[in-house]
Structure 1
Amino acid sequence: MARRTRVRPFGAGIPAGRTLSLVLLLFIVGLCVLRARQPGFWTWLAIDDSRQLVLTDHDLPQNQFHTTVKAHKASAETGPASQVINNTLPDEWSSFSNEAQPIEDRQALQQVDMPAYWRLMSWTKSESFLDLLQRANPQVLFVNLWEEPQVHRGQPVRLRLNVRRVLSYQAGENNLGITQLYEAWGWTTDSKSFPYVVVFPELPAGLPLGADVNAEVEFAGYFLKVMAYDAYETRRGAPLLIGQLRLLQPTATNSPTWPKPREMILWAVGIFAAIGLAIAFGIRQFRQSHPSLPVITTSNNSETIRPSLVEQTEAPTVSTPPTFENQLTQIPQERSSSTELNNTLTPLPDAEKTPSASNDQAWFNVSDSTAQTSGGIDLFAQPSRPKPPSAER
Structure 2
Amino acid sequence: MRFHKRSTTPSYFSRRDQIRLFRLVAALGVIFLAMLYASREENWYWLTGRPAGDPARQQAKEAPREIDFNVREEPKLNPDEFRSEPAPEIKVPEQVISQLESGEFDVRIDPRLLNPVSDSTLGIKSHEANALYYLLAKAAAIPQNVLEQSAEPAPPFVVVMTESPKYRGTLMKVKGQLKRLKALPVEENKYGVQSIYEGWFFSKDSGTHPWRVICTQLPPGIPMGDNLSDMPEVQITGYYFKKYGYASAAGKLQTAPLLIARQIRWFPQTKQTAPSSSGAVKYIVSLFLVISIALAFLIWKFMVSDQNFSRSRTAKLMQRPDMSMESLNDIETVDINDVLKQMGQQKQNPPGSDQSDQQK
TM-score normalised by the shorter chain: which range applies?
0.3 to 0.5
**TM-score, normalised relative to structure 2:** 0.46
* Larger Rg belongs to: 1
